[in-house]
Structure 1
């Protein structure tokens, strides 16, 4: 496959150091693409998980190696630590292996649109931090991710494409969708208050492109459940790309048009006929 060239790429929530990380798909994506800018929008290395239980697949080292190679080859790589790699926020303002560490960033698109880029954990609702609620939610998330791993191991043996079970679950849980909508509106409101056109973030593992009260909200998804990246072409058009055995664009936004696809449809995109390949 020939190299896909973009002006900018945004990825987040890779969670290297966990068995849920889809490092194989990500490694293939990184090796198949080239960009002027590469934003690592937080939770790239899951230091929290590593503190609980050491885990490191050889592919995780390969991903880090590919990021360093891109930085060495001239791609401007900007790393914005998230809540799972928060200790690395202490490196803000420094360059590590050619990768610039920032707490957030202002990205100016090829079409002149101005984007605030941050991991997005700052938009969690205040009551989300209650320990009992977090514990219950985290336990459920781990169970769903474990089930997702087992299901997709079986699907690979049957030569079936990747199926993101957690996205199906989120899309059918009212409280989860309510939280996602509150989060999206908070991020959009912050961008509007700063006089910006858009906000790009990750954090909630629910990718999408939506216009909210005149502000373009973009979430690049993750590489635990979605296997998605947000990309910008030379004209400033944004697309949310899913990358697994079946690769497809899930949503698009130009200066005057937003064409969203419900992210929940990703669960069935690889099974549907007529999916537009990359």
Structure 2
């Protein structure tokens, strides 16, 4: 059992055909924590308006979260754009899970983190309606490729590999949009007097120091299968959880700061 102080998860997209609830369920079953922050797009109400893809393991994910909340784990749900209907219930609790428009968290090392989903910065990142439509269409195509690519890999005994995430990292336009989003989020944390910020929304997991602000994107459970974790020593780490259940990156805050200074 992996123990930690807090877990930050977003962009699960339960109800969507590309949701990797199997990996998330495995992660939840093998972790023990005092706090879980669900930072939006946990349930994909947008996708379910078109077609519902709901499997047993998605029910099991919800049950695992409810069980943890009942056992004393504090769970705060900050809705995103795909589950924005839940924003109407901010301040209320469902099955011991609290709904909030945004939240904050103080690490063991005394770092105050702003917690939000991140869709509020879309207008600052947007390159225009045509660009947005093209980006959404291409991303859907990438997920289609990702789905069939991994089915083929398993036929030959291979393990999960995010083709969609790999291709996105190679596209200059995508990197430019990610940089604009990161800057907008960091500016919000700076204005609020925070030491760092944790968000999701763009499905691009990373931890880095930007203008003295600890920027953390916890990724998603569509193509990256990542969660941000505050470990027992107060350091922040990004975990990649697939068949390998391996650590993608473990960067204590001091290491992040020293890397930034060296750059």
TM-score range relative to shorter protein = over 0.9
Q: Go from structure 1 to structure 2 and tell me whether the alpha carbon gap of 1:111 and 1:126 turns closer, same or farther (over 3 Å shift).
A: closer
Note if contact 2:124-2:181 (Cα within 8 Å) is conserved in structure 1: no
Note if contact 2:5-2:34 (Cα within 8 Å) is conserved in structure 1: yes
Residue 75 of structure 1: aligned partner: 73
The one of 140, 144, 147 aligned to 1:146? 144
Instruction: Provide the rounded CA distance (Å) in 2 between the counterparts of 1:253 and 1:217.
Output: 12
Aligned-residue RMSD, C-alpha: 1.6
Note if contact 2:209-2:257 (Cα within 8 Å) is conserved in structure 1: no
- How high is the TM-score relative to the length of structure 1? 0.89
Residue 176 of structure 2: aligned partner: 178
Residue 33 of structure 1: aligned partner: 31
Note if contact 1:222-1:228 (Cα within 8 Å) is conserved in structure 2: yes
Residue 269 of structure 1: aligned partner: none
Note if contact 1:125-1:183 (Cα within 8 Å) is conserved in structure 2: no
Q: After the TM superposition, which of the residue ranges 174-183 and 147-156 deviates more from structure 2? A: 147-156
Note if contact 1:20-1:224 (Cα within 8 Å) is conserved in structure 2: yes
* Residues 153-212 of structure 1: per-residue CA shift (max 9 Å, x gap): 121222211110111111111110000011111111111111110000000000000100
Instruction: Provide the rounded CA distance (Å) in 2 between the counterparts of 1:51 and 1:236.
Output: 40
Instruction: Provide the rounded CA distance (Å) in 1 between the counterparts of 2:125 and 2:196.
Output: 26
Instruction: Provide the rounded CA distance (Å) in 2 between the counterparts of 1:229 and 1:250.
Output: 10
Q: After the TM superposition, which of the residue ranges 125-134 and 221-230 deviates more from structure 2? A: 125-134
Matches within 5 A, 1:1-278: 3-126=1-124, 128=126, 130-258=128-256
- How high is the TM-score relative to the length of structure 2? 0.94
Q: Go from structure 1 to structure 2 and tell me whether the alpha carbon gap of 1:181 and 1:127 turns closer, same or farther (over 3 Å shift).
A: closer
Shift of 1:259: 8.1
Instruction: Provide the rounded CA distance (Å) in 1 between the counterparts of 2:175 and 2:60.
Output: 35
SS in 1 for 2:54: coil
* Residues 128-157 of structure 1: per-residue CA shift (max 9 Å, x gap): 284332222111111110110111112122
Runs of at least 5 residues in structure 2 that lack an aligned partner in the other structure: none
Q: Go from structure 1 to structure 2 and tell me whether the alpha carbon gap of 1:260 and 1:39 turns closer, same or farther (over 3 Å shift).
A: farther
SS in 2 for 1:124: helix
Instruction: Provide the rounded CA distance (Å) in 2 between the counterparts of 1:177 and 1:38.
Output: 29
Larger helix share, 1 or 2: 2
Note if contact 1:11-1:230 (Cα within 8 Å) is conserved in structure 2: yes
* Residues 202-255 of structure 1: per-residue CA shift (max 9 Å, x gap): 000000001001110000000001000000112210100000111332333434
SS in 2 for 1:81: coil
SS in 1 for 2:59: helix
Q: Go from structure 1 to structure 2 and tell me whether the alpha carbon gap of 1:129 and 1:14 turns closer, same or farther (over 3 Å shift).
A: farther
What count of residue pairs does the alignment treat as equivalent? 259
SS in 1 for 2:250: strand
